[in-house]
Amino acid sequence: MIPAHEADCRAIILRVSASRRRVRFIQNKAGCIDDHASQDHGRPGEQVQMKSERYGMKQGSGLAKGAAAMRHARAFLAIGAAAFFAWSVVQCCLLNRGFVLAQTRFDLAAITVDYPEDGSIFPPEITPPTFIWHDESNAASSWTIDFSFGDGSPVMHFQSPGPHLRIGEIDPRCVSASNELPALRPRQATAHTWTPTAEAWQTIKLRSSGHKATITIAGVPAGGEGAAVSRGAVIMETSRDPVKAPIFYRDVPLIPSKGEKGVIQPLAKRDLPLLAWRLRDIGQPESRLLLTGMHTCANCHSFSLDGKTFGMDIDGPANDKGLYALASIKPQMALRNQDVISWSSIKDNTASPSRIGFMSQVSPDGRYIVTMLRDLRAQLGKSYFLVNFQDYRFLQVFYPTRGILAWYDRVTGKKQPLPGADDERFVQTNAVWSPDGKFVVFARAEARPPELPGQTLPRHANDPEETQIKYDLYRIPFNGGNGGVPVPIEGASNNGMSNSFPKVSPDGRWIVFVQSRNAELMRPDSQLFIVPFEGGVARRLRCNTTLMNSWHSFSPNGRWMVFSSKSRSPYTQMYLTHLDKDGNSSPAILIDNATAANRAVNIPEFVNIPSNGLIKIDVPAAEAYRLLDVASDLAAQGKIDEAIAEWRRVLEMDPRNASAHNNLGAALTMQGKTSEGMKHLREAHEIDPLTPDPADLEITFQLQSYYREQFNSAIAGSDCNAALDYGQKLLATSTDSEVDRAMKECASKQPRVQP
């Protein structure tokens, strides 16, 4: 909020009272003279009133004498009014220079305008915001909201009862014992609000386009009569730079789940279909639902700079992080099996087939994908630190501690490490492209085990028990995939902090990145910083909020940036900030109504398409993953024949699904159908080298086949002791309800021995 004495003194209204022979000044919140004479969009203003006093004239004293007296009286009033007018101007100027004149302050209580913050810049397309303020006066029962404009446009007046903040719409599907319904914080609960109509807001934006506008809020006592009892103000502006692009984002329920074995998941398998992806045109009051109902988790997405190519990390069966969807953008999209890459199925002797599984990035022209592989040595164990919490506010800590960068060529279908970013001594992650595709910017730190033996696990995000790691930002030439020498970016490296999640501005001049005390991703203390692309002094952006600032993305014209924050609610929301040519940002602007109040927004990204350029995304490829889940559940229940039927359905849809081949082959082999089973196992290993080698499994399956043959023979001969022996050996390797049932039936038929 700007101090009261800094507001513009735009006009002076004199109210001359004949009965009390004085001039009264109507002051605004700055202690300066308010302009209530101009009428526009609101309540009747204060009128200029000058009532001349009646002078008694003796009849017959002469017209000349009476006229002279009248002239003297009028002159007296005019001189007095001019004197007061001049004093008011002097007073206002003194106030503007920091002088406080006690006799003109009227002891007004302060109003603090919480939103928008002073200096906020709004996009020209954005829908009406909700203004939020706090009033120190208990006497105010309604409020006037006045807009005065720097270009001299007429003042706009509004009046509001100032209702309190309200919680938005609730999604009942996301209500759980493991989370809480959103609630107003104590300060939020005492705030007052006002939202202009769409028509009024449009006029406000037009009159403040490229000009500062002062918003003055004044508290009025009951009945609306009398002088204001409180006052406060902020300055805002509407930018002449349009956003001109919609925002694609993931809409997430926060429902941490604790399984039967005590394992905490950020989202249970049954809740995966609640994940959604939306597109938001900020000129519209609501977002468009593009995709939901998937039975597998999809994570980080990216778009080519030209808005023609879309990529998304997808978890495969068993949450293996091994898939990547890559398709051309069109209004009605469909991600088919042929649009999904299995990283492990791409043969490359120079790189591990295993991938960490997040933050793959499409190149500006859509040809290449830069991603993160586990390491050159496929046998390396876990490469990332991961702990899930039951606290829904920050329910996961996840960051890599080992890994290299690799790139994939859509034209050749090959992938290979990026020289200079493939050093096993370091973890290399968070790779993004420069807008010309010539450089890759990434985060790097010394490689380390994700956990040490006996290490105490953290109980919350930013717990000192987290594995400590600080990333630095580096720049490396792509050089047609040949890489080069990585160069640390001054201002975003070797600064005692962890620097991660870089994004390069579309003009190639700036890098905006996240800085935190430790690690990356969903850090409560994360702050956004900006540094020149070539390196230099890093500056903290003004748009930062009080809690978690991350997942940022530049608009195609480079003048706006979207990011996520938890400053208003544990259910993450997205915000906008304006960036000028010198990289200065404005206070955060909330994008209202992005999702239900009990759902979170993350990974927002601008897409270089018109608002109707993406209407719906269908994922027929995801049906195979749903059927794999069904088959897995059936197998766990011992319903092997039913599971086999589902695996066969998957292969009808996707003949090169390695998981379906592997599971079907194992099930058939255990049933004694060794020839057909081994055929599917060999096919699975051919498609995905990470699946077990059939040659290694053959002895195991032969032994299991022998156990099953002996078990069936024992059951048929009612030899329950032998059946128990072989049955336990079978159950030691897999769940089989049929074996378990046969053992119990056999035992029940045995005669009981009398004591």
Could you tell me which residue, 259 or 608, shows the higher pLDDT?
608
Residues 192 and 278 in one domain: no
- Considering 238, 267, 294, which residue would you say is the last residue of a domain? 238
- For residue range 173-189, list pLDDT tens digits in order: 999 999 999 999 999 99
pLDDT at residue number 567: 97
Cα three-residue angle 645-651-660, rounded to 5 degrees: 75
The answer to whether residue 755 sits within a structural domain is no
351 and 492 assigned to the same domain = yes
Tell me if residue 516 falls in helix, strand or coil.
strand
Q: Is there a contact between 577 and 561 (Cβ–Cβ < 8 Å)?
A: yes
- Structure confidence at residue 95 (pLDDT): 38
Question: 13 to each of 24, 35, 83, 316, 579, how far by Cα in Å?
Answer: 9, 7, 13, 72, 39
Of 186, 216, 238, the domain-final residue: 238
Do the beta carbons of residue 598 and residue 182 sit within 8 Å? yes
CA nearest neighbour of 116 among 205, 181, 183, 53: 205
Token pair for 191: 């705030």
Instruction: Give the Cα separation of 309 and 94 in Å (integer).
Output: 60
Residues 227 and 252 in one domain: no
Q: Do 181 and 40 belong to one domain? A: no
Q: Do 70 and 150 have their domain in common?
A: no
Average pLDDT over residues 120-148: 97
Q: Is residue 424 part of a domain?
A: yes
Highest mean pLDDT among 218-222, 349-353, 395-399, 486-490: 486-490
| pLDDT confidence tier of residue 9, bands split at 50, 70 and 90 | very low
What CA–CA distance (Å, rounded) separates 464 from 548? 18
How far apart are alpha carbons 556 and 248 in whole angstroms?
A: 13
Question: H or E element: which one contains 565?
Answer: strand 560-565
Domain with 531, as residue range(s), is: 247-551+558-619
CATH number for the domain spanning 427: value is 2.120.10.30
**What is the number of alpha carbons within 13 Å of residue 389 lying toward its C-beta?**
18
What average pLDDT does the structure give for the chain? 83
Pick from 699, 722, 702, 698: nearest CA to 711: 722
Lowest mean pLDDT among 132-136, 319-323, 366-370: 319-323
Per-residue confidence (pLDDT) for residue 58, from 0 to 100: 34
Across the strands, what pairs with 334?
618
DSSP 318: G
Give, in order, the Cα–Cα distances in Å from 122 to each of 160, 200, 350, 527: 22, 15, 50, 21
Residue 504 and residue 441 share a domain: yes
Query: Do both 82 and 197 map to the same domain?
Result: no
R_g over Cα of the chain: 35
Residue 41 lies in a domain: yes
Residue 624 lies in a domain: no
E strands within 191-316? 192-194, 212-221, 230-238, 247-253, 257-258, 264-265, 276-280, 288-292, 298-303, 309-314
Same domain, 466 and 582: yes
Residue 73, pLDDT > 90, answer: no
Is the confidence at residue 755, as pLDDT, over 80? no
The C-alpha atoms of residue 406 and residue 327 are separated, in whole angstroms, by 20
Mind listing the pLDDT tens digit for each residue in 26-62?
333 333 333 333 333 333 333 233 233 332 333 344 4
- Percent over 70 (pLDDT), the chain: 79
Mean pLDDT of 654-683: 86
Residue 625 lies in a domain: no
Question: CATH code at 731?
Answer: 1.25.40.10
Residue 732 within any structural domain of the chain: yes
Alpha carbons 472 and 490: distance in angstroms, whole number = 9
Winning range, highest mean pLDDT, from 6-15, 99-108, 331-340: 331-340
- In angstroms, rounded to a whole number, what is the distance separating the alpha carbons of residues 33 and 92? 8
- Asked if 158 and 271 sit in the same domain, the reply is no
- The residue among 189, 219, 238 that closes a domain is 238
Number of domains in the chain: 4
Is 232 among the domain residues? Answer: yes
Q: Are residues 596 and 711 in the same domain?
A: no
CA distance 708 to 727: 8
In a domain, 25, yes or no: yes
Question: Do both 514 and 396 map to the same domain?
Answer: yes
Give the pLDDT of residue 104. 38
Is 561 in a helix, a strand, or coil? strand
Residue 712 has pLDDT above 80, yes or no: yes
Q: What is the tens place of the pLDDT at every residue in 396-447?
A: 999 999 999 999 999 999 889 999 999 999 999 999 999 999 999 999 999 9
What is residue 406's predicted lDDT score, i.e. its pLDDT? 92
Same domain, 308 and 360: yes
